[in-house]
Amino acid sequence: MSILSVKDLKVRYSASGPEILKGISFDVEADDFFAIIGPSGAGKSTLIRCINRLVEPNSGTIELYGENVLSLRPKALRRVRRNIGMIFQEFNLVNRMSVMDNVLSGRLGHVGNFRALFRLFSKADIARALSVLDRVGLTDHVDKRADELSGGQRQRVGIARALMQDPKLLLLDEPTSSLDPKISREVMALIMEIAKEYDVPVLCNIHDVRLAMEFCNKMIGLQDGLKRFDGPTSTMNEDSLNDIYAMEVL
């Protein structure tokens, strides 16, 4: 059963500008680790940011667990966003804050601005933060500032922060593009393991086709805002990749 259903999604950033997404449709099921691949400028980041309405589509529908995300008013949208964890390309951490405080910021949608400002987190939230930091291998770095960490460690903080939301969906926006190949693979393996442990589906915009082929069970391929492939990773072949990347050398 689909937990996320996207139908005929269209996006342009201005009335006279080019259409970035041209009628994209796909479905994500509960056990999917789903990849969005394609060349630079294909619309991958735009698509993934439409899911939690960081980008507002012009038309189409996005249903998450049966709820039409695009029809939600601000209060209801905040509620839905609490259930969507997002892991960013550039980590999106507060450098001057500690690792622990960055992870606890994943509870902002649940505790409110006042309690977050004065760090009035519950014992349960603190215990959970310590638990997820242990799971991502950062127990020894709890009190360090975020800007003291390596790129791979910073992304692990981002993963831990997303888990603090108790997400029903994880969105990954180029999670490995700032990392070297070895660390990229370790991060993807960690996310896949955690997705299974926490029973949460993943939608991942990823530039590295080899990583997508290794870790993702399904994928769509975009080129110039159009869908060129949609199916199990096992059915992806060289002809399909050549079609997706026709204007770019792999």
CA distance 129 to 164: 7
Predicted local distance difference test score (pLDDT) of residue 112: 59
CA distance 227 to 12: 16
Domain match, 18 and 136 both: no
- Please say whether the beta carbons of 162 and 196 come within 8 A: no
CA distance 54 to 56: 7
Could you tell me the two tokens for 180? 């070297």
In a 10 Å sphere around its CB, with 0-12 CB exposed, 13-18 middle and 19+ buried, how is residue 164 labelled? Answer: buried
| Residues of the chain with confidence (pLDDT) below 50 | 114, 249-250
Among 229, 197, 203, smallest CA distance to 215 is for 203
DSSP secondary structure code for residue 27 in this structure: E
CA distance 209 to 177: 12
Return the residue matching tokens 């964890």.
85
What would the 3-class secondary structure string for 68-103 be?
A: EHHHCCHHHHHHHHHCEEEECCCCCCCCCCEHHHHH
CATH number of the domain that residue 226 is part of: 3.40.50.300
Domain match, 173 and 250 both: yes
- Please say whether the beta carbons of 29 and 64 come within 8 A: no
CA distance 249 to 239: 14
In a 10 Å sphere around its CB, with 0-12 CB exposed, 13-18 middle and 19+ buried, how is residue 106 labelled? Answer: buried
The 3-state DSSP class for residue 148 equals helix
Domain match, 79 and 109 both: no
- Rounded-to-10 torsion of CA 62, 21, 200, 37: 160
Sign of CA dihedral 95, 49, 65, 223: negative
Q: How many domains does the chain have?
A: 2
Domain match, 76 and 121 both: no
Domain match, 77 and 173 both: yes
Residues β-bridged to residue 29: 2
CA distance 55 to 243: 27
The 3-state DSSP class for residue 7 equals strand
Domain match, 128 and 70 both: no
CA distance 242 to 240: 5
Predicted local distance difference test score (pLDDT) of residue 211: 95
Domain match, 57 and 174 both: yes
pLDDT digits (tens, 9 = 90+) for 16-68: 889 999 999 999 999 999 999 999 999 999 999 999 999 999 999 999 999 99
Domain match, 46 and 79 both: yes
Domain with 205 in it: 1-83+169-178+201-250
What predicted TM-score, i.e. pTM, was given to this entire model? 0.90
Domain match, 160 and 129 both: yes
